[in-house]
Amino acid sequence: MGRIAIVTGGTRGIGEAISIALRDMGMTVVANYAGNDQKAKEFTDRTGIAAYKWDVGDHQASLDGCARVAAEVGPIDVVVNNAGITRDGVLQKMSFDDWNEVMRINLGGCFNMAKATFAGMRERGWGRIVNIGSINGQAGQYGQVNYAAAKSGIHGFTKALAQEGAKYGVTVNAIAPGYIDTDMVAAVPATVLEKIVAKIPVGRLGHAEEIARGVAFLCSEDGGFVTGSTMSINGGQHMY
C-alpha cells in the first residue's frame, strides 16, 4: 500500500533530499513550500513531486493546506516537519519579530502540521511524524537564542506527542542534523565555516542525503518500534 507523505520546506536543501528519498521508497510525496514559486516549479519539473504552497507557521493555512492535500491526493500518513528559518543575532540586538518569526515557523509549524494530520493517522491506526531539530537545539549556539529555543522545543514536542500516538500505531521522532552542505550553511562566512568543520570529528560537512536516509528509516514499516527518539546525525560533533 502506497503511503502519502508531506514534507514541509520540501523543495530545497535537506527537504528536497527527504522528498526524493520518500518518493524512492514508493510513497506519494507532496512537498510544501512557502516562498519561491520558480524554485518550486523547477523542483516539480525535476522530480515529478507535486509542490503545494502555504506558510506552516499560519495555523489556518496549515489546516486548509493539509485538507486540500487529503482531498486531492489522499489521506496523509507521513509528515516530515522540515521547514525552518534563521534570524540570527545576539539577544541584545535581536528584535521581538526575529524571535517570534523563528518560533512561529520552526516550532509552531510542527504543532500546526500535527494538529492537521494526527487525528487522521490515529483513526487509521498508522502514522509517521518526523520533526527536524538541530544540533544547535541540543548544544546551543552563540547568536541563536531563537533558533536554539525553537529546535530544542521540537525535541520536547516530539517526546510528548510520541506518548499520545504510541498505542495508535503513530510514531513521532526527531532528527537533529549537524552542519549540512546546504544553501543555509553556504551563507556562513568561509572563515567561520572552517572553524565549524574543524570541530566535526569526521572532518567534513554532512550531506542532505544522509539526513534523508535517517528520515526514510523512521518513516518506514521497519521503524515502527522507534518513537520518542531523537537521532543525531552530526559527524560526532555533539555526543551525549
**CATH number of the domain where residue 35 is located:** 3.40.50.720
Report pLDDT digits (tens) over 46-72.
999 999 999 999 999 999 999 999 999
Across residues 64-90, what is the average pLDDT? 97
* CA atoms of 137 and 176, how far apart (whole Å): 8
Cα–Cα distance list, 74 to 19, 24, 29, 71, 111 (Å): 17, 18, 11, 6, 21
Quick one: pLDDT at residue 197?
Answer: 94
Has 147 been annotated as catalytic?
yes
C-alpha cell at 221: 514499516
pLDDT score of 1 more than 60? no
Q: What is the pTM of this model?
A: 0.96
Name every residue whose Cβ is closer than 8 Å to that of residue 126 and which is 6 or more positions away in sequence.
77, 169, 170
Q: Does any domain span residue 176?
A: yes
Secondary structure of residue 155 in the 3-state scheme: helix
pLDDT score of 4 more than 70: yes
Q: Domain of 174?
A: 4-233
Residue 238 within a domain: no
52, 147, 168, 240: the active-site residue: 147
In a domain, 110, yes or no: yes
Residue 240 lies in a domain: no
Task: Over range 185-197, report the average pLDDT.
Answer: 87
Tell me what pLDDT residue 144 has. Answer: 95
